[in-house]
Amino acid sequence: MSIHAPTDSALLPTRSNTPPPEEFTWRVNRLIRAMAEEDLDELLMYGWPWRPDNVRYLTGAPTIGTSLVRLRSDGSVAALVSSETDRAAILRGGWVSDVTRVRSFTGHHLQGLFDGVRPGSKIGITHLEILPLGLRGLIDEALSAPRLVSATRLADLIRLQKSSWERDRIMHGARVAQDGWNAMLDSLVPGVREFEVVAAVEREIKRAGAEDNFMLIAFGTTEVRAMHAPEARRLRRGDLVRTELTPQVDGYYTQICRTAVLGNPSPAQSRAYEIFQEALEAGISAVRPGTTSHDLAKAQNDVLRRNGLGEYCTPQHTRVRGHGLGMHPDEAPGIQEGDETEIPEGATLVIHPNTFTPTAGYIVVGDPVIVTASGSERLTKADLILPSRTAVTA
C-alpha cells in the first residue's frame, strides 16, 4: 500500500467518469497495431506505486501496488496484482475480469500469467529500464528463452494521442487547476508559510474533485533558481510566487504554470514576465500536428535568446519547454531542442518556457493545449499582466 494511492474516481458527483467500453477497445486496438509494428508477440504493462499509469491505461483502474498486465495480440488482457485493493479496483473498472491477486510474486504465479506464451517470444515490457532484479528473474524463470525489449517508448507514443474521452478529462482538469491557482492567490498574505499555501491549494483542488496533484513551488526573489518542496519560510512583500499546478482528474493530469508577486511588481519582474509571456505565445503559436518537440522548444527559446536569456535555456538552468499531459504529470515528449518526436493531432501538452533570469529569479508561465487539426486549443490563459497582491502591507 502506498500513501500515493489514487482515489477511486467514482467520487465526482456530477459527471460520468468511468471510461466507457469503447474507450477500452480504442486503446487495445491501437496497442495491438503498435505491437505488430514492433513485431511484439506480447505486451506487458508493469506498474508500481510510482508509475501505475500504463497499467491504468490498459485496465481503466487506479492501482497502488505492484502489477503486471498482459495484453495478447488477440486483445485479451490478464492482470497479476500484489494488492487486494488493486484487484478490487480493476474489477470495479469493468474492463478486465481476469485478475489474480497474490501477496508475493513467484515464478509459479508468473507462469500462470504467461500461459500460452511460445518459447522465444518477443515480449515488450513497459519500464523494463526500472524493472526490479527479482521480478526480472521471475520473468526469465517463467518464460522459455524470452526476448525481452523495452516497450516504454511504445506506450509513451500510443498514450501521446488522446481520445475525445481523455481530452475531456484534460479540459476538466484545466478548470480545476485554475480553481487551485485562484485559491493560491487568496492564500498569499505576508507571513503565511510556504507549506500553508500548499495545504490551502491542495484543499481547494481536492474539493474540486481532483484525486491527486503534482505541485511544484518556489517562493522568493532573485535567489530562486528552481522549484522545490514547501518549507516553513514565511512569505514577504516583493516575493515572487511561482507554481506548477497539476491536478489529476479521473486519472489525467493537467498543468498550468503561474507566477505572481506579493505586492507591486518591480520593473525587472514586470520586464522578465513580459519576455516569458512572449515566449509562451510563440510556443503555443507553433503547436500544430506534425510539428516536433524540437520546433516547440526552439520557438520559445528563440524569444529568450533574442532577449539575452540564451544562457538560461541550457540544462544548467532549466529542463524542458513543456511536456505531454496524461496519466503521468510529466509525460513524453519532454519538449526540448534536439527531440524530434512528432506531435500528433489529439495530443495534450503543456507549453512552459520556465527558467531562471538574473534580474527576477525563476519565472514560470505555462498553459495546457490540445493539438487540433488546424493548430491548438488553449485550455487556460495565463494573465497578461503579472498578477500582484497590491493590498498587502508587509
Partner 1 sequence: MMKRGLSTLDTECTPVSLFQDRQERLRQVARDRGLDAVFVYGDVSGGGDIAFLTHTTLYWGHGILVIPAEGPTVLVMTLSPRTHDWFRETGVLGEMISGPQLGPLLRQLSIDRDYAAVGIVEQSDFPASMLEAVSDGREVLLVDLGSPVRELRSRPDEAALADVRQTARLGARGLEAALAAAQSADMGRVRADSEYAMRTGGAWDATTVITRSTDNAVAIQLRCQLRDSWYGAERFLRGGNDANPAEAQSLYQEMLRQLRPGTTEAKLLDSVLAFAEARGLSKGMLVDIVLETAPDVEARLVFPETDQGFAEGSVVHAALWGWDLDGYPTTAMGDTFLLSKAGYVRLSNV
Binding residues among 4-63 for partner 1 as defined by CB under 8 A: 4-8, 10-13, 48-50
Q: Which stretch binds partner 1 (CB under 8 A): 154-162, 163-171, 222-230, 267-275?
A: 222-230
Give the CA-trace dihedral at 205, 354, 302, 380, to 10 degrees.
Answer: 10
Q: Measured on CA atoms in the order 379, 376, 271, 195, is the torsion positive or negative?
A: positive
The correct pick among 196, 278, 302, 377 for binding partner 1 (CB under 8 A) is 196
β-bridge partners, 388: 261
d(C-alpha 229, C-alpha 217), whole Å: 6
Please give the DSSP secondary-structure letter assigned to residue 67: E
Shortest approach of partner 1 to residue 372 CB, angstroms? 28
Q: How far is CA 18 from the centre of its chain?
A: 20
Site string for partner 1, 252-291 (x = CB under 8 A): ----------------------------------------
Q: Which stretch binds partner 1 (CB under 8 A): 190-198, 263-271, 286-294, 341-349?
A: 190-198
Instruction: Considering only the stretches 152-160, 200-208, 345-353, 382-390, report the one whose residues sit in contact with partner 1 under the rule CB under 8 A.
Output: 200-208
Q: Which stretch binds partner 1 (CB under 8 A): 163-171, 202-210, 234-242, 367-375?
A: 202-210
* CB nearer to partner 1: pick between 66 and 376: 66
Q: Which stretch binds partner 1 (CB under 8 A): 30-38, 205-213, 273-281, 342-350?
A: 205-213
- 192 near partner 1, rule: CB under 8 A: no
Is the Cβ of residue 10 or residue 36 nearer to partner 1 in the bound state? 10
CB of 359 to partner 1, least distance (A): 18
For residue 282, the 8-state DSSP code is H
Q: Which is nearer to partner 1, 205 or 284 (CB)?
A: 205
Q: Pick from 73, 76, 316, 390: which binds partner 1 (CB under 8 A)?
A: 316
Residue type, 186: D
Cis peptide before 333 (omega within 30 of 0): yes
User: CB-wise, 97 or 144, nearer to partner 1?
Assistant: 97
Contact status: 165 vs partner 1 (CB under 8 A): no
Q: How far is the CB of 149 from partner 1 (least distance, A)?
A: 12
- Residue 15 DSSP class: S
Should residue 306 be labelled a site residue for partner 1 when binding is judged by CB under 8 A? no
One of 96, 117, 208, 260 touching partner 1 (CB under 8 A)? 208
Among candidate residues 45, 86, 19, the one with its CA nearest the CA of residue 251: 19
Distance between CA 92 and CA 258 in Å, rounded?
37
Binding residues among 79-138 for partner 1 as defined by CB under 8 A: 82-85, 87-92, 103-105, 128-137
Residue 385 sits in the site that holds partner 1 (CB under 8 A): no
User: Does residue 317 belong to the site contacting partner 1 (CB under 8 A)?
Assistant: yes
Taking the complex as a whole, the smallest distance from the CB of residue 120 to partner 1 amounts, in Å, to: 21
Query: Binding partner 1 by CB under 8 A: which of 243, 248, 300, 301?
Result: 248
**Under 8 Å CB-to-CB from 326, ≥6 apart: which residues?**
53, 159, 160, 162, 166, 170, 252, 253, 348
Q: Give the 3-state secondary structure of residue 366.
A: strand
Written as one string, the DSSP assignment of 194-255 is: HHHHHHHHHHHHHHTT-SEEEEEEEEESTT--S-B---SPBP-TT-EEEEEEEEEETTEE--
356: enclosing H helix or E strand: strand 355-357
CB nearer to partner 1: give 28 or 215. Answer: 215
C-beta of residue 324 within 8 angstroms of C-beta of residue 339:
no
Distance, in Å, from the CA atom of 205 to the CA atom of 199, rounded to the nearest integer, reads: 10
The window from 21-29, 209-217, 284-292, 363-371 that contacts partner 1 (CB under 8 A) reads: 209-217
Backbone angles phi, psi at 201, to 5 degrees: -70, -45
Phi, psi torsion values for 73, nearest 5 degrees:
-70, -15
28 or 89, CB closer to partner 1? 89
Span from 17-25, 71-79, 160-168, 223-231 in contact with partner 1 (CB under 8 A): 223-231
Grid coordinates of 304: 529568450
Output the DSSP codes for 8-40. Answer: PGGG-SSS--SPPHHHHHHHHHHHHHHHHHTT-
358 binds partner 1 (CB under 8 A): no
